[in-house]
Amino acid sequence: GFYTVILEEKGDVATVATVRVHDGKVAELPLAATRFSHRRRGMCRLLVEELEKQLRELRVERLVFTSSAKCSGNMDQTRILQDDR
């Protein structure tokens, strides 16, 4: 499915992202955006960390960031979410 994830601070939308889950194994994050007034405060990092927790509970194995290299900043392109042990 295709989902929208929203991080709010004191009732104010800070960061939003779109997430697509493929076959329950791989999640794709093609877009994340932070409002100007909330930038440089780690809001996107908080959103991604919480998203990773939720995806682990759903047994999703990988999170792939598909934004362009110009926009991706310091994020890894793929994160492994499940340990294969």
Stretch 6-33: mean pLDDT: 93
Question: Is 23 inside any structural domain?
Answer: yes
Question: Is 78 inside any structural domain?
Answer: no
Quick one: pLDDT at residue 85?
45
* 60: containing domain: 2-65
Number of domains in the chain: 1
Report DSSP state, residue 45.
H
CATH of the domain at 34: 3.40.630.30
Please give the Cα distance from 82 to 25 (Å, whole number): 10
Please report the beta strands in the chain, taking only residues with DSSP state E, as ranges in sequence order: 2-9, 12-22, 26-34, 62-65, 78-80
Quick one: pLDDT at residue 52?
93
Model confidence over 21-79: pLDDT tens digits? 998 899 999 999 999 999 999 999 999 999 999 999 999 999 998 865 545 455 557 66
pTM of the model: 0.77
